[in-house]
């Protein structure tokens, strides 16, 4: 702690920060551009100038850039000093000499940091009489729009894109007052995090291109706190709606999970909500019907027939629980393939019963050694890859700290660190985007990766069985990895389900457990496949095959399938047979699927935007997402439909549940692993000063006009029975509880930078603690119960290929790929082959290859990849029209 | 008594004053140009729509009676896809005109908007858009903005340098 005198007022502040951070933490308004809490200071923009005084007798002081000056005890500074103020105003004046007269047509307007800072400094008139500089723009692909005229040369974009996210194709060109931020030529930005440029850029140079297509000002959006639905990490987002369609997803700061950034799949994958082919009306036997007809028909079916329910890992725990309750415990099946089901249960067993804690993304960022087993993180869990990228800098940064360079001093630390990276060991099937920072890279078949894991674990703790017959190279590699991990203070082992290999996960657990014996700060991260995979697995229920068998053996004749495309999760032949044998197929979903096309009754469910729900992310953190806007009377949350069905059919228990809270309480009581989920947000009757928290900013416009074309008398605004958020602009304007911040705004801070005002300390936790409840906490003093079965050596077999999945950030996720912008980035199906295999098969890049896997014939063009191990081939996971199950398996080559 | 006679005398004198009453609607009132009456959307001197769909009028409106949706033509020019004013809510305060950065929305001296049916007071873009510049002549927002639109590329606006040649090494 240090005492800092700001304008002669003493303040207690934490040391180790720079003056700008400290001033912002204290809630003082000080303008800045180039500094970013996640990226540190470079002192480029000169905007945050303040006066520093030598002592209390010093009346003159000297101007310094507050972002470049560390806090010292008894320091005296002034923000309001006339000279400092004039300096800041002049800086803005210069920055604005070339800024175009664009605000009216700029997407950033109304949430623009440059606007805010201009108002804050008091600069009002452009005194520069000469001509404005202009630039040509570039086409940067479907996600990001480029308008270079607006640039103020703060360098934040390249610092984020290159330095923070490891992108290679955005840079700064030319010199002097001609500097240009863009690509070397027009083309799609390659980084998976390019969408963050829209938030990082303090003005409108980089903006969200999908938002531009249905443009709305930030103040006109109805916004709600949401949780990303497109992978298992559970990044917090804000979803904004206008005129009944979702317009934009932005990052919602969370101190433990996603921090300041989200990936492009999460940011741009929302458009499936607005898709023209969304299911919007209930359909019964080919006819569009009303609510009551559906409910009565289902009442009849529930009475007359034996009904099973198939849940979904992409539906909330409330929806899955309601289905379980409606059909009965023994008739509820998880809608995931057997392998995935088993692996999710294994993951829970490892995390819950093992001695190693699973860290949050923020903790992964602070790890000083990382060992990745079998996961292509950039494609399966993108934000985890970004966290690993930061972790690789931890060790060199510690060296910089020893040289007395503070960690926020970005330019100096980068000069000191140069290209050095901390220990990052990566064992994957083929090359990944993290390879550029990896200390050790190992490409092998999943079983071989698991064997490496066992070998490393054996070296750390000899009670783990050693691997037989392995090469000298592998031995040395295992030695180096074990050594690197043992030296680390906070090692993190990362694995996951995308390798579809139980032994890889077990190997990862062994390594983490072995390390934990000597180092209690070890972490183990297991990434899963869907947004609620872990929540569903915590709930208990049968496997999908059980559901199939129930119908095949006539234990049941009717199936309710909720938010699940069975063709994704089972083989085509089995699912065909299943759907055929069901007397009635009831599908509850929001997006059309092949399963839905065979349903007898289709019920329109709400997407995340029209639903309240709770998801459990890979960390075991239960997080709530809120309904953004009230949909029509027939589009409702799946759980509400199921509740309506239950009540209508006379289910006594369900009749007692009136809203979201009742059902969540029931989950907490009944499901031991989900105990406490009702506590993650304040109850629905929670009010601040007697008021709800508004979803709409106080400048929200058009209330008396937006529906006037339908009826000039305004309808009553909908009321939210499930939460204490309101659908209007009236309500409490102060800080909302951290779990239900609908948008970030503070007087004078209209842009996303206002998040500073919501944090306890800049870049730290949200006020009142970060949201969510960790449901799994490991006991680190427990003795590990190692997995003892080491997999056998993988031998390639002639005329066969061991085919594994490879994940794609764009395409492997069922919902985000329906988004028009994401769809442009989805690859065509292919088979990834090793060059020597390709040579043996006499096949060249792009030529088709035929093979049979599990009685399914594929013909795919070949892509050749030098890093693929011999005898192994990879196929993209779950692209449109392709299954997400059945692999890894032997593929039998067909002669063509 | 005296005051009553005085009042009657004053009233009597009024018979010889100029008449204030206007025989409306036979006789029309002359209103100043800045009278805040019916709202119109104007066009720029080249005949293009002035409204760029910036939403500032809607934000400024104290009764929230303006709603619109911005869209773009294929060359990047912004315009409103729909523009709706609910005149049954409008209080003719003129804040929208003040807020408009392009002189598109203007209040004109016409107040004859009475309707028997309230629904008819909802004006859409076709009811609002006029074929003229209204009160503010000669202003064309896109001529001063940095955005490139059809017929005006980068560097062709008023007071602009030609686009920077990024590859040039010249000082």
Tens-digit pLDDT profile for residues A708-735: 999 999 999 899 999 999 999 999 988 9
Domain A358-521 has CATH 3.40.228: yes
In 3D space, the residue among A561, A659, A596 whose CA is nearest the CA of residue A332 turns out to be: A561
- A22 within 8 A of A406, measured Cβ to Cβ: no
Confidence of residue A884 (pLDDT cuts 50, 70, 90): confident
- Whose tokens are 């949201």? That residue is A771
- A31 within 8 A of A48, measured Cβ to Cβ: yes
- A270 within 8 A of A278, measured Cβ to Cβ: no
- Inter-chain contact A712–B119, Cβ cutoff 8 Å? yes
Average per-residue pLDDT in chain B? 93
In three-state secondary structure terms, A821 is helix
Full DSSP string of A746-811: BTTB-SGGGGGGGBSSTTSPBTT--S-EE-----TTSPP-----PPPPP---TTEEEEEEE--TTT
Confidence of residue B168 (pLDDT cuts 50, 70, 90): confident
Cβ contacts below 8 Å, chain A against chain B, sum to 135
Share of chain A above pLDDT 90, in %: 87
Residues sharing a CB contact under 8 Å with residue A553, sequence separation 6 or more, in sequence order: none
Cα–Cα dist B122/B128, whole Å:
10
Give residue A240's pLDDT.
96
Angle between helix A472-487 and helix A502-518 axes, rounded to 10 deg: 50
Q: A418-444 in b/e burial notation, b at 16+ Cβ within 10 A?
A: eeebbbbbbbbbbbbbbeebbbbbbbb
Helix H or strand E encompassing A360: none
- Whose tokens are 């104007």? That residue is B42
Share of chain B above pLDDT 90, in %: 85
**Most A CBs within 10 Å: which of B49, B67, B77, as the mutation test of the A interface?**
B67
B-chain CB neighbours of A136 within 8 Å are 154, 163
Average per-residue pLDDT in chain A? 93
- A535 within 8 A of A477, measured Cβ to Cβ: no
Q: A309-334 in b/e burial notation, b at 16+ Cβ within 10 A?
A: bbbbbbbbbbbbbbbbbbbeeebbbb
B-chain CB neighbours of A216 within 8 Å are 55, 69-70
Structural tokens at position A99: 């800024």
Structural tokens at position A757: 């005002």
- A163 within 8 A of A187, measured Cβ to Cβ: no
User: Considering Cα of A648, then A651, then A656, then A659, what sign does the dihedral take?
Assistant: negative
Give residue A470's pLDDT.
81
Structural tokens at position A538: 């915590």
Angle between helix A446-460 and helix A502-518 axes, rounded to 10 deg: 20
Edge-to-edge strands, sheet with A245-251? A222-227, A236-242, A245-251
Structural tokens at position A435: 């390879």
- Whose tokens are 């698991």? That residue is A450
Residues sharing a CB contact under 8 Å with residue A652, sequence separation 6 or more, in sequence order: none
Tens digits of per-residue pLDDT, A58-73?
999 999 999 999 999 9
Angle between helix A291-304 and helix A638-648 axes, rounded to 10 deg: 60
Please name the residue of chain A whose CA is at the shortest distance from the CA of residue B124: A709
Cα–Cα dist A533/A311, whole Å:
11
How many residues make up chain A in this entry?
896
How many residues make up chain B in this entry?
171
Q: Is it the case that residue B35 has pLDDT exceeding 70?
A: yes
B-chain CB neighbours of A132 within 8 Å are 146, 159-161
Alpha helical stretches, state H, A461-562: 472-487, 502-518, 533-537, 544-552
**Most B CBs within 10 Å: which of A99, A103, A105, A132, as the mutation test of the B interface?**
A105
- Inter-chain contact A712–B124, Cβ cutoff 8 Å? no
Give residue A471's pLDDT.
87
Q: Is it the case that residue A690 has pLDDT exceeding 90?
A: yes
In three-state secondary structure terms, A711 is coil
Cα–Cα dist A858/A891, whole Å:
9
Q: Is it the case that residue A881 has pLDDT exceeding 80?
A: no
Domain A800-894 has CATH 2.40.40.20: yes
Full DSSP string of B11-40: HHHHTTSPP----TTTSPPP--TT---SEE
Of chain B, the end-to-end C-alpha distance in Å amounts to 95
pTM given for the model = 0.94
Cα–Cα dist A629/A742, whole Å:
12
- CATH code of B24-135, in short, is 3.30.70.3270
Fold annotation for A277-338+532-642+666-678: Rossmann fold (3.40.50)
A-chain CB neighbours of B125 within 8 Å are none
Q: What is the mean pLDDT of residues A801-819?
A: 93
A-chain CB neighbours of B119 within 8 Å are 711-712
Give residue B170's pLDDT.
80
- Inter-chain contact B147–A704, Cβ cutoff 8 Å? no
The two domains A358-521 and A800-894 share their CATH topology (first three levels equal): no
Give residue A894's pLDDT.
81
Q: Does A214 touch chain B (CB under 8 A)?
A: yes
Cα–Cα dist A612/A607, whole Å:
9
- Residue A438 CA to chain centroid, in angstroms? 23
Tens digits of per-residue pLDDT, A245-296?
999 999 999 999 999 999 999 999 999 999 999 999 999 998 999 999 999 9
Q: Is it the case that residue A896 has pLDDT exceeding 70?
A: no
- The class that CATH gives domain A2-95 is alpha beta
- Inter-chain contact B147–A137, Cβ cutoff 8 Å? no
Q: Taking the CB of residue A781, how many other CB atoms lie within 10 A of it?
A: 8
In three-state secondary structure terms, A364 is helix
Q: What is the mean pLDDT of residues A510-529?
A: 94
Tens digits of per-residue pLDDT, A380-420?
999 999 999 999 999 999 999 999 999 999 999 999 999 89
Q: Where are the domains of chain A?
A: 2-95, 214-274+682-710+718-770, 277-338+532-642+666-678, 358-521, 800-894
Structural tokens at position A408: 């926020």
Which A residues 156-195 touch B at CB under 8 Å?
Answer: 173-176, 178, 180
Tens digits of per-residue pLDDT, B116-160?
999 999 999 999 999 999 999 999 999 999 999 988 999 999 999
Structural tokens at position A826: 């989805």
- Whose tokens are 């800041």? That residue is A88
What region, left, alpha or beta, does residue A53 occupy, with left being phi > 0 and alpha being psi -120 to 50 degrees? beta
Cα–Cα dist A858/A879, whole Å:
13
Tens digits of per-residue pLDDT, A301-319?
999 899 999 999 999 999 9
Cα–Cα dist A547/A331, whole Å:
8
**Most B CBs within 10 Å: which of A708, A714, A750, as the mutation test of the B interface?**
A708
B-chain CB neighbours of A219 within 8 Å are 59
């Amino acid at each position: 702690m240090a005492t800092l005198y700001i304008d002669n007022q003493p303040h207690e502040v934490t040391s180790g920060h720079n003056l700008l951070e400290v001033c912002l933490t204290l809630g003082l308004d000080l303008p800045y551009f180039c500094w970013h809490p996640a990226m540190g200071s470079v002192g480029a923009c000169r905007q945050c100038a303040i006066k520093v005084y030598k002592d209390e007798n010093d009346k003159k002081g000297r101007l310094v850039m507050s972002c470049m000056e560390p806090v010292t005890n008894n320091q005296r500074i002034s923000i309001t000093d006339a000279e400092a103020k004039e300096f800041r105003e002049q800086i803005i004046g210069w920055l604005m000499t070339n800024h175009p007269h664009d605000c009216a047509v700029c997407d950033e307007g109304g949430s623009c940091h440059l606007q805010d800072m201009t108002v804050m400094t008091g600069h009002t008139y452009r005194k520069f009489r000469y001509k404005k500089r202009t630039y040509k723009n570039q086409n940067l692909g479907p996600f990001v729009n480029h308008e270079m005229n607006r640039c103020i040369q703060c360098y934040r974009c390249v610092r984020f894109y290159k330095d923070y996210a490891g992108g290679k194709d955005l840079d700064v060109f030319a010199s002097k007052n001609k500097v240009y931020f863009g690509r070397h030529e027009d083309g799609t930005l390659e980084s998976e995090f390019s969408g963050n440029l829209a938030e990082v850029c303090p003005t409108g140079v980089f903006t969200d291109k999908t938002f531009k297509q249905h443009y709305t000002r930030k103040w006109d959006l109805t916004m709600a706190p949401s949780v990303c639905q497109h992978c298992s990490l559970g990044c917090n987002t804000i979803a904004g709606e206008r005129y009944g369609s979702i317009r934009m997803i932005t990052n919602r700061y969370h101190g433990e999970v996603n921090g300041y950034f989200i990936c492009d799949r999460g940011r741009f994958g929302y458009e499936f909500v607005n898709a023209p082919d969304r299911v919007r009306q209930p359909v019964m036997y080919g006819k569009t019907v009303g609510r009551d007809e559906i409910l009565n028909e289902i009442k009849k079916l529930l009475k007359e027939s034996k009904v099973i329910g198939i849940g979904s890992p992409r539906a909330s725990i409330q929806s899955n629980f309601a289905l379980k309750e409606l059909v009965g415990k023994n008739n509820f099946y998880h809608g995931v393939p057997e392998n995935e089901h088993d692996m999710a249960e294994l993951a829970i067993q490892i995390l819950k019963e093992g001695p190693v804690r699973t860290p949050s993304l923020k903790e992964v960022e602070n790890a000083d050694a990382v060992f990745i087993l079998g996961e292509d993180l950039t494609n399966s869990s993108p934000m985890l890859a970004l966290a690993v990228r930061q972790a690789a800098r931890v060790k060199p940064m510690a060296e910089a700290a020893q040289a007395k360079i503070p960690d926020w001093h970005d330019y100096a630390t980068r000069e000191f660190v140069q290209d050095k990276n901390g220990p990052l060991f990566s064992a994957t099937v083929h090359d990944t985007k993290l390879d550029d920072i990896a200390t050790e890279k190992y490409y092998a078949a999943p079983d071989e990766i698991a064997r490496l894991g066992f070998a490393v674990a054996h070296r750390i703790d000899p009670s783990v069985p050693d691997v037989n017959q392995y090469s000298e190279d592998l031995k040395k590699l295992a030695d180096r990895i074990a050594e690197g991990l043992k030296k680390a203070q906070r090692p993190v082992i990362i694995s996951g389900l995308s390798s579809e290999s139980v032994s890889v996960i077990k190997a990862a657990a062994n390594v983490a457990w072995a390390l934990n014996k000597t180092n209690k700060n070890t972490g183990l991260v297991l990434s899963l496949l869907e947004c609620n995979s872990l929540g569903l697995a915590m709930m208990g229920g049968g496997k999908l095959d059980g559901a199939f068998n129930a119908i095949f053996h006539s234990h049941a004749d009717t199936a309710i399938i909720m938010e699940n495309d069975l063709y994704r999760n089972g083989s085509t032949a089995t699912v065909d047979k299943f759907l055929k044998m069901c007397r009635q197929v009831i599908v509850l979903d929001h997006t059309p699927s092949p399963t839905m096309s065979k349903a007898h009754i289709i019920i329109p469910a709400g997407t995340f935007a029209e639903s309240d729900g709770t998801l459990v992310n890979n960390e075991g953190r239960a997080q709530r997402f809120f309904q953004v806007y009230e949909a029509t009377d027939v589009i409702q949350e799946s759980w509400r439909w199921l509740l309506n069905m239950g009540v209508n059919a006379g289910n006594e228990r369900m009749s007692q549940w009136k809203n979201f809270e009742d059902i969540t309480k029931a989950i907490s009581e009944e499901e031991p692993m989900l105990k406490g989920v009702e506590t993650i947000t304040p109850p629905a009757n929670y009010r601040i000063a007697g008021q709800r928290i508004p979803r709409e900013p106080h400048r929200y416009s058009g209330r008396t006009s937006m529906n006037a074309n339908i009826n000039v008398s305004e309808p009553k605004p909908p009321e939210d029975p499930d939460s204490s958020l309101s659908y209007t602009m009236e309500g409490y304007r102060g800080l909302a509880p951290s779990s239900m911040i609908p948008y970030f705004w503070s007087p004078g801070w209209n842009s996303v930078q206002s998040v500073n005002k919501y944090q306890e300390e800049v870049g730290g936790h949200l006020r009142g603690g970060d949201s969510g409840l960790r449901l799994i906490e490991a006991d680190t003093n427990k003795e590990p119960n190692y997995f003892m079965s080491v997999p056998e050596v993988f031998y390639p077999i002639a005329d066969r290929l061991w085919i594994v999945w490879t994940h794609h950030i764009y395409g492997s996720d069922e919902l985000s790929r329906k988004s028009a912008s994401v769809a442009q980035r989805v690859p065509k199906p292919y088979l990834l082959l090793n060059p020597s295999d390709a040579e043996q098969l006499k096949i060249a890049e792009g030529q088709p290859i035929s093979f049979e896997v599990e009685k399914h014939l594929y013909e795919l063009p070949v892509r050749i990849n030098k890093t693929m191990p011999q005898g192994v081939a990879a196929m993209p996971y779950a692209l449109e029209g392709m299954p997400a199950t059945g692999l890894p398996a032997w593929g039998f080559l067909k002669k063509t | 008594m005296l005051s009553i006679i005085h009042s009657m005398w004053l009233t009597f004198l009024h018979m010889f004053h100029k008449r204030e009453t206007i025989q409306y609607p036979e006789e029309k009132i002359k209103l100043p140009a800045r009278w805040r009456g019916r709202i119109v959307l104007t066009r720029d001197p080249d005949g293009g729509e002035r409204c760029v769909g910036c939403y500032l009028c809607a934000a400024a409106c104290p009764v929230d009676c303006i709603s619109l949706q911005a869209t773009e033509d294929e060359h990047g020019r912004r315009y409103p896809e729909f523009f709706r004013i609910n005149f049954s809510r409008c209080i003719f305060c003129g804040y929208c005109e003040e807020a408009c950065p392009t002189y598109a929305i203007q209040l004109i001296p016409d107040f004859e908007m009475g309707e028997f049916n309230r629904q008819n007071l909802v004006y859409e873009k076709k009811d609002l858009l006029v074929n003229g510049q209204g009160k503010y002549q000669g202003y064309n927002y896109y001529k001063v903005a940095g955005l490139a639109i059809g017929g005006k590329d980068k560097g062709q606006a008023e007071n602009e340098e030609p686009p920077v040649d990024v590859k040039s090494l010249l000082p």
